[in-house]
Chains A and B, each alone.
Chain A
Amino acid sequence: MADQEIPPPLPSQILAQTLDLIKDRQVFHPDQIEALTDLANAGGFRRPERLIAVLKNEEAAHHEAS
């Protein structure tokens, strides 16, 4: 059982699909998607302030603007 492939919990499945969906929307820079992925893996999606920090990310905004 230790090596058995256990399907990810539903919240993880939903977050993975969310990240897939936002890739198709033109409003996110790849760096931001990467940061959101890291945030999702770290359980940070339950923290509005951490979400806001990523959504306002200076670096990504710079890339996006350029």
Chain B
Amino acid sequence: MRLLDLAVENVRGICTLPLRPEGRNLVIWGPNGCGKSGVVDALDFLLTGQISRLTGTGTEGVFLEQHGPHMGHVAADATVRAKLLIQEDSQPIEVEISRNMARPGNLECDEAVRPLVDKVLAVAQRGQYVLTRRELHRYVVARAGERGEQVQRLLNISEVEEIRRALVSAKRQLADGRLAVQREVGRGQATVAATLGLASYDGGAALQRVNDLRAALGGQPIKALSRTTLKDGLAPPAAPSSEGGAIDRKAAERAIASLRALVDPAHPADRILTAHRDLGAIVNQVKEQPQMLRDLTVRQLIEMGIDLIDDSGACPLCETPWPEDKLRKHLEGRLSQANVAAEQQKTIDELSSLLAGPADVAAANVQNLLTVAAGLGIQEKCQSLIAWQSDLGKFLTALESPLEKYAELSSTESDIVRFFAPFDVTETLRVIEADVSSCCPERPPEWTAWDTLTTLESNTKVLESSESYLSRITRAENRAGVLLECFETARNGVLSKLYDEVNDRFVSLYRQLHKDDEGTFTAKLEPAGPALKLAVDFYGLGQYPPQALHSEGHQDSMGLCLYLALAERLTTGLIDLIVLDDVVTSVDEGHRREICRVLATEFPDRQFLITTHDKSWAFSLRSEGVVTQRNLVQFFGWNVRTGPKWDNNLDTWLHIEQHIERNEIPDAASELRRASEQFFTLACASLLARVVCKPRADWELGDVLHPAVEQYGALIKTAKDAANSWNEKDQIQSLSDLEAVAAEVKQRTGADMWQVNASVHYNNWHNLGPADFGVVAEAFHDLWNLFRCPKCEGMLHVVVSPDTAVQEAVRCNCGHTTWNLKKRSP
């Protein structure tokens, strides 16, 4: 996409502005505050529906609708229109688009071309075609985290971090779910144990009890405890007596026996007491070490925090900014400490599990007895059982987070006795037993076995369901871990490849800009998690952050090169337009000329829109052929009522002509001399002409004109010799013609005379009449043109081999003009 026309009405600092770059580079220069960036804002608004400068950090209270239109205008007055050139099937087509600030989301264009326009706008939305000075610094000087954020924003890959967070979240939710299901499985096992009269769940013991029950019914033993096989091959025994209702006397008696065993003075069992003592000791030990307690308490938070550190490197919880990578390292250090504490946590978990098993069984037995009591209608006699059930519930809850709750709940052995063997239930158990004994007749053993197996079918159904779900959720958790790991591997691979490509291009561009002092420059751009590290070579002395040793000008160059490398990688084929908004303020003039050459030679297929407040940079862009005279637009005289004034007829020769027409010869002479001093100073630098050194570099025309003309002649002669050696007859003829023209122009300007006494000639110009000065001006105009490419109008320059320092050729930036200077080897 190229920009043919741009018309701005009442946007930011601009009232009315028509620009016609016609798909070619456009340079807007003028002092600060004259509305240059308003053009960038207008283009931004047209392509994206917003103005980046009015969004983001530091723009609180600034709104597009209120601050986008020019002062004193409403949003409906603010419109941007453009004519674009878009390639479709290799055919360029012209597309007109416009956007009004009252409807920023609505881009108006011919519906037939909207799909084409949408494609371009999708890229433009990412803002990849605009580089401002503010962003330039963020690419280079920023901390790795911020740089990563900035570059990722440019790459439009913030979505990648969103996906990673979702994967982390999914993995954590599944882990939390697994822990909850593990508890359900524990409770299911306890219920099975209670039904079978086991003190705690043991798969082998449970199977043995089941096979005993099956034997009572004449069945064969089964090999595994499964709901579907519990009654395999068994038939129900003969119908029992209806007395006693549905209450299974034996089951009630088992529950009573089991609980009585717990409240027996010999209990709680040694292993429970031992587990209780050990758990209490370790919990107290951890609590006495605040750091360990803290590490254990926040371990999961630390792990989650590491996973959630985003591109900015800031704390994911409170958003406090941290220096590059420091938060990650800090948390990893904390996690390492916490890993020591994690061993303690493991022991705590094992002891908790040891205590939870029998407590679950006790709770299940208490529940069974309460059900029996309800069946017998004697609930009012069971208050102590109800209280016990409540205590067991509290105990089990405490075991789920023992560090916080266990010590408070059971600080002494009498507490554990209370939970496992409350003194006051003995009488209740006796009452229930008596009622069961009197109200529930003995059943034949085979019926007891059948009823137990029936209950067990229900218990195992719940247990198997929990176990099945545990298995599924564990697999899902495992898959989530693998998915996250694969995603991070893929992300690192894709981004590393991209950064490697960008890195190579970045280094190549920077070397071209600084071939005089950093021709062997190297750099390493590498991802560090979500951050992006940039280390650059400093004169072969090692790799350092860019801001450590390089000057601000060098950093600007780096930012520009990095941006160009990224933009090239991301917008090729979609947006040819690249906007550089006042980006080279710290780069010295010599390197700016190199930037011009890089823009012209490395990006010939791009259209640059460049704004600058620096006249010399604008002049360099013109003299190096990056921009034609007609596309060099000056902004000046801004005021609120009119916005900027502009002038794109800044051609020196046009001005001189106008002065001559008005008989303003001193003004014409002054302009010719001033412009020629600038021009031939650059010509000397470009053609490597020798100039007398002046400490303050204040060369006058006489200092630079003669050396430039002499060097020009010498280079033509060298080029002719080289062409002769290669027997390039056309080139010989072309150079001979040029030599003749040069001799004639030189004669007309009297260039040789300037070396003798420059000021005399300058003063003489004042005394000339319009006709005589017109001849001088025309001669100088022709002389200028000798030093410029007839096609791109850029200044010719000598190309020197970086390896051998040999002058290889004279070229322009567009490649149209080339004089080979190297002779054929004999």
Contacts and interface: CB of A to CB of B under 8 A. Distances in A.
A46 B472 contact: no
B156 A55 contact: no
A2 to B, nearest CB: 5
Given A14-B491, A21-B490, A61 B170 contact: no
Contacts of B491: 14
B339 interface: no
B116 interface: yes
B475 A61 contact: yes
A1 B166 contact: no
Contacts of A55: 170, 174, 476, 479-480, 483
A45 B167 contact: yes
B590 interface: no
Contact of B489 (A1, A21, A27, A47): A21
A14 B490 contact: yes
B483 to A, nearest CB: 6
B776 interface: no
Nearest to B87: A1
A22 B482 contact: yes
B155 interface: yes
Nearest to B93: A1
A57 B156 CA distance: 32
Nearest to B477: A55
Contacts of A25: 482, 486
Given A10-B494, A14-B490, A14-B491, A2 B115 contact: yes
Residue in B87, B473, B490, B493 with the greatest tally of chain A CB atoms within 10 Å: B490
B230 to A, nearest CB: 22
A21 B487 CA distance: 8
A1 B573 contact: yes
Given A10-B155, A48-B173, A56-B472, A1 B490 contact: no
Contact of B476 (A4, A13, A18, A56): A56
A14 B489 CA distance: 9
Interface string B24-63: 0000000000000000000000000000000000000000
B431 interface: no
B730 interface: no
B89 A18 contact: no
A20 B493 CA distance: 13
Residue in A14, A21, A22, A47 with the greatest tally of chain B CB atoms within 10 Å: A14
Interface in B334-353: none
A9 B385 CA distance: 66
A46 B166 contact: yes
Interface stretch (B157-165, B205-213, B577-585): B157-165
Contacts of A22: 482-483, 486
B119 interface: yes
Interface string B570-611: 000110000000000000000000000000000000000000
A13 B480 CA distance: 20
Interface string B64-95: 00000000000000000000001111000000
B494 A52 contact: no
A52 B174 contact: yes
A14 B166 contact: no
Given A55-B476, A56-B473, A46 B162 contact: yes
Interface in B133-166: 155-157, 159-160, 162-163, 166
A47 B157 contact: no
Given A1-B574, A27-B479, A51-B166, A18 B486 contact: yes
Contact of A10 (B87, B116, B120, B157): B157
27 contacts: A1-B86, A1-B89, A1-B116, A1-B120, A2-B88, A2-B115, A2-B119, A3-B88, A9-B156, A15-B163, A17-B490, A17-B493, A17-B494, A20-B490, A21-B486, A22-B482, A25-B482, A27-B478, A28-B479, A32-B479, A46-B159, A51-B167, A55-B174, A55-B483, A56-B174, A56-B472, A61-B475
Interface of B: 86-89, 115-116, 119-120, 155-157, 159-160, 162-163, 166-167, 169-170, 173-174, 472-473, 475-476, 478-480, 482-483, 486-487, 489-491, 493-495, 498, 573-574
Given A9-B156, A10-B155, A14-B487, 14 more contacts: A6-B574, A9-B159, A10-B157, A10-B495, A11-B160, A17-B494, A22-B482, A22-B483, A32-B479, A46-B159, A51-B166, A55-B170, A55-B480, A55-B483
Interface of A: 1-4, 6, 9-11, 13-15, 17-18, 20-22, 25, 27-28, 32, 36, 45-48, 51-52, 55-56, 58, 61, 64
